A and B are shown apart, each in its own frame.
Chain A
Amino acid sequence: MQRRPFLLGCGCLAFAAAAGVHADEYDYQVPPRFSRPDPSSDEGGLWAFMDREEQRLKRSSFVIRDPALHDYVNRIACRLAGDHCPEMRVYLVRTPYFNASMAPNGMMQVWSGLLVRMQNEGQLAAVLGHEIGHYLQRHSVERLRDIKSRSSFAQIVGIALGVAGGGNLGALAQVGILAGGLAYGRDQEREADRIGIALMARNGYAPAEAGRVWGQLLEEYEGAKAAGEDVSTTNILFASHPPAEERREVLAAAAKRDWPGAERTGADEYRAALASHRMGFLYDEVRRRRFGESLVLFDRLLKASPRDGQVQYFKGEAYRLRGREGDTKLALEAYRAALEMDNTPPEVHRSLGTVLRQTGEDAEATRAFQRFLELKPDAEDAELIRSYLTGSQS
């Protein structure tokens, strides 16, 4: 049976709805360092459970083992956590969904689907700060005691793991729904939110970015809805917690009012840190087949960086892979635009050739395939493409 490391005591539903942030609540005092709880206590049991999950995670092939990127994220998390930094271990995980979590034993997970969605260091700091807020207030222990007072811990974990045993991402979404019972309460989310924004602002990050994270998620959700995609499993937060809009506004207003001086977003640093992974993250993103969400994400990234040929290429890929009526034309437009941009991957020529073959524009398809082979003569499909050329020329 497969077990998932983020079922309990983690921010599975990172950023669950909370509203109402007020200036007088920001005077947050970070608690003193934590020590390992007594193993015979309930908290000790929770730590032991999380330690086992962490051992599994350490061995996972899905952990991104790039010291440079890890150090970058770790440094940000460490600054936010302050004195508690030595208690924390950060794991970057290749999973194309929006999530970060921090377990009570100090294991922090940051998923690639979150990294690719953040526009800058400030936004990442907002999410990490929120998770660190849960950790500092030991919300998972509160939650565990709350659950235990109502039901058997083993029973609840058993149910949760039973669902996760399906071993697929759909089940993962179900775990999210089930974890509604395990997830943090609204008041805890509200508290983590206050702490998160305070920690980021104290470190000089523009707190307005916290509200923008919400705004971005909402836009993606609306994008999926407008594209007629099933949004019931997109993000249950939006289905069950409408105050998302309100929260975005509240955070934005608070940021403006309380920290007019904190303005650093760190967009350039963030872009540079992610650069070598971006192709892979975008590849995974488009293969989620949540095209409505992905297209909103790509447009947002393009707005911030209008000559980004990488993102523009994946915009074309989203249309090509979706394959609805009219998408062929949109894909062609996107690929052709990418040709005029910077840092465009050579694969754009292959995709252009593939689509042009379908539309019967053989001469242009041939030119695109030839160009791809010039740029990537050793591509994994080079033989196949050479055979297309022979076929289309004969």
Chain B
Amino acid sequence: MRLTPWLAAAALCTLAGCAQMVKVESGQVTIKDTLSVTTASAWNRFDLPQLNLSVAPGAAEIWTQDGVTLDALAFFVGVSQGETLGKAMPGSTKKLPQFRSAMTPGEIVELYEQMVTQDGSAFALKRVAPGRFGEQPGFRFEHTITRKSDSVLLKGVGQGAVVKGKLYLVVFTAPSIYYYERHLPQVEPLMASARIRAL
């Protein structure tokens, strides 16, 4: 019953009226002092990371328009050699693999797959190709996730790069019905605006 303290905390938080969502205003936003993106529209930042959203457990930040089960924009910022991408879901027996700076984009997508399938969800890669991450050369991948908890088919797109040995990755996932297409036009320019600071 490891979840209980968190659920209790969440319930208390709700009762006390403290926010689980924080508004992200349009404009330039910097995440973990390192990764900045420019967004034309406002987002909601999901501020209860201990609930470990299965599409992005342990992301630096998770943003959403309609709620995290409907759409999630996850930022992974500066993952170093030897660290895992994301973190283990509570109760998961799977030991997540570690990031290596020399990994190919294909291997990085495998890290992502391992992270999002911890709950038994099914992952399918649709496309991975070289791309840009802001001003950096990087990669882009598209995929689907069949969510274990409710069998909903999610579509996803991720863009990232390894810069000075650290991994930066932004991934958007949403149900293939309606929500993915609805928010993709906001997500694409946001991903294209990514800049890694302090380099």
Contacts and interface: CB of A to CB of B under 8 A. Distances in A.
Interface of A: 2, 59-62, 94-95, 159, 162-163, 165-174, 230, 233, 287-289, 321, 323, 350, 354, 357-358, 380-381, 383-384, 387-388
B2 interface: yes
A61 B128 contact: no
A100 B118 CA distance: 21
Interface of B: 1-4, 54, 89-95, 97-98, 100, 102, 104-107, 110, 113-114, 117-120, 122, 125-130, 139, 146, 148-151, 153
Contacts of A354: 104, 106-107
A59 B153 CA distance: 13
Contact of B119 (A168, A289, A380): A168
Contacts of B98: 323
6 closest pairs, A vs B, by CB? A170-B91, A168-B119, A383-B129, A170-B92, A61-B151, A171-B91
Given A383-B129, A383-B130, A167 B54 contact: yes
Contacts of A288: 94
Contacts of B4: 162
Contacts of A170: 89-94, 118
B156 to A, nearest CB: 14
Nearest to A170: B91
Given A383-B130, A384-B106, A167 B148 contact: yes
Contacts of B106: 350, 354, 381, 384
Given A162-B3, A169-B119, 16 more contacts: A59-B151, A60-B151, A61-B153, A62-B120, A62-B148, A165-B3, A168-B89, A170-B93, A171-B90, A172-B120, A354-B107, A380-B128, A383-B128, A384-B128, A384-B129, A387-B130
Contact of A287 (B89, B104, B117, B146): B117
A167 B148 CA distance: 8
B148 A380 contact: no
Contacts of B102: 358
8 contacts: A168-B118, A168-B120, A169-B92, A169-B118, A171-B91, A354-B107, A383-B127, A384-B130
Nearest to B137: A387
A274 to B, nearest CB: 19
Interface centre among B95, B113, B153 (most CB of A within 10 A): B95
Interface centre among A167, A171, A174 (most CB of B within 10 A): A167
A80 to B, nearest CB: 29
Nearest to A288: B94
Contacts of A165: 3
Contacts of A289: 94-95, 97, 114
Given A169-B120, A380-B128, A381-B128, A2 B91 contact: no
Nearest to B150: A2
